[in-house]
């Protein structure tokens, strides 16, 4: 196929004339011009200037099966020609939406007595978390406890960008714009040992203490006023914050003690990312609601939703009365057909198992090597999600001064050398496609080490090391 060359400058000019990008300083972007991505295959993405990048972020934590999967395009094409759209309001349904709901119910493991037999659809993670807030409050209303409205979340968590999503999220920059959080949403600290552990405290001791912040908050708000606690199994956008092993069991004990709903936001962690179908399996806790989006279609088409556990579904269904909530695209037939084809690939290629038993442990061993780099305080991974802390002094665990943006310097080296790795402050993070071969992992790790070397040289020259 002969591709028509793309006029980068022209696209950039049109981009800055007409396209307001998410989470972007518009003036800054207009002054430099956006990078124009034009095509992708497997784990690589190309820009309009012909540069190739190894995409260690799977797009934005979503392209779990890799790029260029013809089966997904075929599924979309076939469904568009069969039934491109019909709504699921007014006592109507469609075949792919039903089949996908049944498939998700089959894949979601029972933990203890709880299982997930029902799905509520949306088109994104943000919308799904809005649905969670609506559903959790409706649940308590139907049980005659309408005062249970408060949702407890965590600082530095990410739950989306709508009014409820951004309120649930614990990003101060987002709260600062638009009068957030909305009422009845409150936050506790995150289980980040490196930042919040006390001198002499082990990671395991810290994990229990951090979970204890939930109990303190419940008592402060009044147990009878709390509807739910929402958390990501591992905080993704916050910088891949992996909780100590003691954290989730203690959270489970606390939510059980006070009877509050547990919402597991698995927009990033589900569909193989941690080596299981769902993240709660990895940590062994029992959520009542599970948010999903992104990798349910490997990002090929927007789709999100909430897995509704039996505890909540039973009340919503048996008590009756209309749930006044839903979206035009709830159960979109094309998105659901693509999701079915995507889950089929994941099952056939055993991607969750592969990450859990094979390539995940291999990546973890590579990260042990990375942790020995002089710029790196710690490098840890869980499944196919990993984070690296860049430090000014490795022995004394001393961070760089705020504002030096060492993470951004490292990210710049990565881009110039054909690697997409994110910087969250001075934490470098990756979440690569689950299809990566050992050779591709080696290629990624060599690039990471090379870019860490370049960054180390830079900060040394600038005299920023201690
Ligand atoms: N929950 C979690 C855990 C997420 O990671 C959302 C909800 C919202 O999903 P939608 O589909 O509405 O975007 C997300 C999204 C980043 C970044 O900088 C992460 C996300 C979105 C945008 C940027 O890492 N995650």
Q: What is the pLDDT of residues 42-78, one digit of tens each?
A: 999 999 999 999 999 999 999 999 999 999 999 999 9
What is residue 241's DSSP assignment?
B
Residue 124 Cβ contacting ligand 1 at under 6 Å: yes
Which CA distances in Å does 384 have to 107, 342, 395, 423? 19, 18, 27, 17
Whether the per-residue pLDDT at 327 is higher than 90: the answer is yes
Percentage of the chain modeled with pLDDT above 90: 97
Half-sphere exposure of 263 (CA within 13 A, CB side): 31
Are 387 and 240 contacting, i.e. CB atoms less than 8 angstroms apart? yes
- Tokens describing residue 304: 């999100």
**Pick from 107-116, 218-227, 260-269: least confident:** 107-116
CA–centroid distance, residue 436 to ligand 1 (Å): 22
Could you tell me which residues come within 8 angstroms of residue 171 by beta carbon, excluding any fewer than 6 positions away?
156, 157, 158, 238
- Other C-beta atoms closer than 10 Å to the C-beta of 26 total 11
Residue 60 Cβ contacting ligand 1 at under 6 Å: yes
Are 190 and 170 contacting, i.e. CB atoms less than 8 angstroms apart? yes
CA–centroid distance, residue 464 to ligand 1 (Å): 33
Could you tell me which residues come within 8 angstroms of residue 439 by beta carbon, excluding any fewer than 6 positions away?
none
Closest CA to 266 of 428, 62, 112: 62
Fold of 35-65+350-461: 3.90.1150
Residue 94 Cβ contacting ligand 1 at under 6 Å: no
Q: What is the CATH number of domain 73-348?
A: 3.40.640.10
Q: What are phi and psi of 199, to 5 degrees?
A: -55, 130
Domain ranges of the chain: 35-65+350-461, 73-348
Over residues 147-156, the mean pLDDT reads: 98
Closest CA to 249 of 218, 287, 211, 219: 211
- Tokens describing residue 44: 């690589």
Q: How far apart are CA 233 and CA 386, in angstroms?
A: 14
Q: Whose CA is nearest to atom 20 of ligand 1?
A: 237
- Tokens describing residue 265: 């936001």
Residue 466: band (very low, low, confident or very high) from pLDDT cuts 50, 70, 90: confident
Q: How far apart are CA 393 and CA 36, in angstroms?
A: 37
Pinpoint the alpha helices (H) of 84-162.
Answer: 95-107, 125-142
Ligand 1 pocket test: which of 124, 160, 235, 279 has the largest number of ligand atoms within 8 Å of its C-beta? 160
Residue 113: band (very low, low, confident or very high) from pLDDT cuts 50, 70, 90: low
For residue 186, the cross-strand partners are 152
Residue 266 Cβ contacting ligand 1 at under 6 Å: no
Are 383 and 356 contacting, i.e. CB atoms less than 8 angstroms apart? yes
Mean pLDDT estimate for the chain? 96
Predicted local distance difference test score (pLDDT) of residue 394: 94
Work out which ligand 1 atom sits closest to the CA atom of 294: 11
Could you tell me which residues come within 8 angstroms of residue 225 by beta carbon, excluding any fewer than 6 positions away?
147, 148, 149, 150
Predicted local distance difference test score (pLDDT) of residue 53: 98
Residue 247: band (very low, low, confident or very high) from pLDDT cuts 50, 70, 90: very high
Predicted local distance difference test score (pLDDT) of residue 2: 58
Instruction: Work out whether the CA dihedral 357, 363, 365, 368 comes out positive or negative.
Output: negative
- Cα torsion 233, 235, 241, 242 to 10°: value is 10
Whether the per-residue pLDDT at 449 is higher than 60: the answer is yes
Residue 4: band (very low, low, confident or very high) from pLDDT cuts 50, 70, 90: low
Q: How far apart are CA 228 and CA 36, in angstroms?
A: 42
Closest CA to 380 of 364, 392, 369: 364
- Other C-beta atoms closer than 10 Å to the C-beta of 9 total 11
CA–centroid distance, residue 390 to ligand 1 (Å): 24
Whether the per-residue pLDDT at 1 is higher than 60: the answer is no
Residue 5: band (very low, low, confident or very high) from pLDDT cuts 50, 70, 90: confident
CA–centroid distance, residue 26 to ligand 1 (Å): 20
Whether the per-residue pLDDT at 118 is higher than 90: the answer is yes
Q: How far apart are CA 82 and CA 75, in angstroms?
A: 11
What is the tens place of the pLDDT at every residue in 93-112?
999 999 999 999 999 988 76
What is residue 289's DSSP assignment?
E
Which CA distances in Å does 162 have to 125, 190, 269? 10, 21, 20
Over residues 187-194, the mean pLDDT reads: 97
Which CA distances in Å does 158 have to 131, 133, 154, 169, 346? 16, 15, 9, 4, 26
Q: How far apart are CA 97 and CA 262, in angstroms?
A: 25
Q: Is 439 exposed, middle or buried (0-12, 13-18, 19+ CB in 10 A)?
A: exposed
Residue 125 Cβ contacting ligand 1 at under 6 Å: yes
């Amino acid at each position: 196929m002969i591709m028509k060359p793309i006029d980068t400058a022209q696209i950039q000019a049109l981009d800055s004339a007409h396209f307001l990008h998410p989470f972007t300083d518009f003036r800054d972007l207009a002054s430099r011009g956006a990078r124009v991505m034009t095509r992708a295959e497997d784990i690589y993405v190309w820009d309009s200037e012909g540069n190739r990048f190894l995409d260690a972020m799977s797009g934005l934590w979503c392209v779990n099966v890799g790029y260029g999967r013809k089966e997904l395009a075929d599924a979309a094409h076939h469904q568009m020609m069969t039934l491109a759209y019909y709504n699921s309001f007014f006592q109507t349904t469609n075949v792919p939406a039903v089949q996908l709901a049944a498939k998700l119910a089959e894949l979601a493991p029972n933990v203890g007595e709880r299982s997930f037999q029902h799905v509520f659809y949306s088109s994104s993670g943000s919308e799904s978390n809005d649905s969670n807030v609506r559903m959790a409050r409706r649940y308590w209303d139907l049980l005659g406890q309408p005062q249970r409205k408060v949702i407890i979340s965590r600082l530095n968590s990410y739950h989306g960008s709508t009014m409820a999503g951004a309120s649930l999220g614990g990003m101060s920059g987002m709260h600062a714009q638009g009068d957030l959080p909305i009422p009845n949403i409150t936050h506790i600290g995150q289980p980040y040992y490196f930042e919040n552990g006390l001198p002499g405290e082990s990671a395991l001791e810290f994990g229990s203490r951090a979970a204890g912040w939930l109990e303190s908050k419940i008592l402060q708000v009044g147990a009878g006023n709390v509807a739910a606690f929402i958390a990501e199994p591992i905080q993704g956008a916050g910088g891949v914050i992996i909780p100590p092993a003691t954290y989730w069991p203690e959270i489970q004990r606390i939510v059980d003690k006070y009877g509050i709903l547990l919402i597991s936001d698995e927009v990033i962690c589900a569909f193989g990312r941690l080596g299981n179908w769902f993240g709660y399996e990895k940590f062994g806790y029992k959520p009542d609601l599970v948010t999903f989006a992104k990798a349910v279609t490997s990002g090929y088409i927007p789709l999100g939703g909430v897995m509704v556990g039996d505890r909540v579904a039973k009340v919503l269904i048996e008590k009756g009365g209309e749930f006044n909530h839903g979206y035009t695209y709830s159960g979109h037939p094309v998105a659901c057909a693509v999701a079915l084809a995507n889950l089929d690939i994941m099952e056939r290629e055993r991607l969750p198992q592969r990450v859990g038993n094979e390539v995940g442990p291999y990546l973890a061993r590579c990260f042990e090597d990375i942790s020995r780099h002089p710029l790196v305080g710690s490098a840890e991974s869980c499944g196919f999600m990993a984070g690296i802390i860049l430090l000014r002094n490795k022995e004394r665990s001393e961070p760089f001064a705020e504002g030096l943006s060492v993470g951004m310097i490292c990210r710049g080296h990565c881009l110039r050398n054909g690697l997409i790795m994110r910087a969250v402050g001075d934490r470098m993070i990756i979440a690569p496609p689950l299809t990566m071969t050992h050779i591709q992992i080696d290629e990624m790790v060599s690039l990471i080490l090379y870019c860490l070397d370049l960054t180390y040289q830079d900060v040394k020259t600038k005299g920023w090391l201690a």
